[in-house]
Chain A
């Protein structure tokens, strides 16, 4: 899945310049014109980075940044200020709230790309288009963990047999293993003695071979200090113990840029089937949403006229699922495709409770939907 950057600036010209700067990179740009829209977009899109102006109408950048950092679900998103304001007092004030960098306008494309590249993994789009692997393709995962019980969980925890977990228990073994075989993902336990986990991260990152390798930190869930330290050090992501392997699979797939769409999308003979799993997490909804427009557009390219959204395995509806289905219907409408909903009796009843979904016709099977 592509990285996502939210640019918040009241100037359309600046937003266009930012978008143009990253044309050759695998980076999706979403936009906000002021702090209010910015917060809403951050909540909806969960971007990997925010580029934020200061002087904006309705809500300025300082207020938006303050509110962002006060929100537990948004405070982890790194922010780079992109602004004409460079007064010492303003810069100090903002730095105290918490930002990753500060770009003063006017700015060159090169400066923008360099500074963004320091915060998120920027990959040329050509590299992505050529090499995108599927979930079921082989993947080398190196786990650096000295506790046998945790290591055993990882050996058997993943759903994909093609994912090979290579367990090492020390920094030295990890460096040797990484030299011998290219690792697709590295997971380092920060419980290793003498703080060697952080040191190992730095050693791997200094090797050009592993400059872009996703490296995760494995940390106890309640250790927020270590999590903050891992974030500051530059780990790609954080895995908390006890490990939710379903969530970890999503993080790995995202970091290794795997095409996970086959979990949700099937191109049948003459229609596109979109199926949500039973009890989808917020991560799953965000994940399937990431492919939605691309897959529906591909359905049009394939000459399809119909899309079926199958939610019959769901036990219940929530606003995130409703919003996702509304997005699917919207894209279908834009591209003049017919969109059908397949569900169960409970979903049919629950859909009547939401203003946005009360008009839906819910079919009991794909066959019924297609023959209607």
Chain B
């Protein structure tokens, strides 16, 4: 499978893992480990959904553009999102129905994660800037790209809970 960007896959994996771990350790004081990683091109057939669940899910999305383009979706079940929000804000009694607060917290976690990843890209000469976060809510949805891009899907575990960081990336033409 040919790649669209010239950063070795190992380095890309290292960059994303370190960005995620930095956020979880610093802001949440939580351990997070990479379970597995999958690589694909979005032009290929049968691209699997990043995360299969019949439970309510949330995906926080932040994009980046400049010498390199892309976006990252942080996908997880709503229960994990609530747990992370409570941990981030020190609000143990936050209600599951407080979508606004959870959306905001998850958006900011995604912002910090993609920011950390993007800053590493900049050090390699791929300068770019971030977009503001957006949030998707639903069940059993998948994310696909309309144009050809490299897709790197990272399956993480944090203290027994799973979540996904789904990266779509390509260089500027």
Which residues of A are at the interface with B, using a C-beta cutoff of 8 A?
10-14, 16-17, 20, 55-57, 83-90, 104-108
**Contact B122 A87, beta carbon cutoff 8 Å:** yes
Can you pick out 28 interface pairs between chain A and chain B where the beta carbons lie within 8 Å of each other? A10-B132, A11-B104, A11-B107, A11-B108, A12-B101, A12-B104, A13-B89, A13-B104, A13-B105, A13-B108, A17-B27, A17-B89, A20-B89, A55-B129, A84-B112, A84-B118, A85-B129, A85-B130, A87-B118, A87-B119, A87-B122, A87-B127, A87-B129, A88-B127, A90-B129, A105-B112, A106-B116, A107-B26
B150 contacts chain A at the CB level, 8 A cutoff: no
Q: How distant is the Cα of A94 from the Cα of B111 in the complex, in angstroms?
A: 20
Taking a contact as CB atoms closer than 8 A, the residue among B85, B108, B115 that contacts A14 in the complex is B108
Q: Top 5 nearest A-B pairs by Cβ distance?
A: A84-B115, A106-B26, A87-B122, A11-B108, A13-B105
Distance, CA A120 to CA B57, complexed state (A) = 43
User: Considering the complex, which residues of chain B in the window 79-135 have a beta carbon less than 8 Å from any beta carbon of chain A?
Assistant: 85, 88-90, 100-101, 104-105, 107-108, 111-112, 114-116, 118-119, 122-123, 127-132
**Which of these, B26, B100, B116, B127, contacts A84 with CB under 8 Å?**
B116
Instruction: Count A-B contacts at CB 8 Å.
Output: 71
Interface residues on B, range: 20 to 34
Chain B residues with Cβ below 8 Å from A105 are: 111-112, 115
From known contacts A55-B132, A84-B114, A86-B115, infer whether A106 and B104 are also in contact, taking CB-CB under 8 Å: no
Residues of B within 8 A of A12 (CB): 100-101, 104
CA A14 – CA B133 in complex, angstroms?
A: 14
How far does the alpha carbon of A14 sit from the alpha carbon of B105 in the complex, in Å?
Answer: 8
- Beta-carbon nearest neighbor of B127 in chain A: A87
B157: interface (CB < 8 Å): no
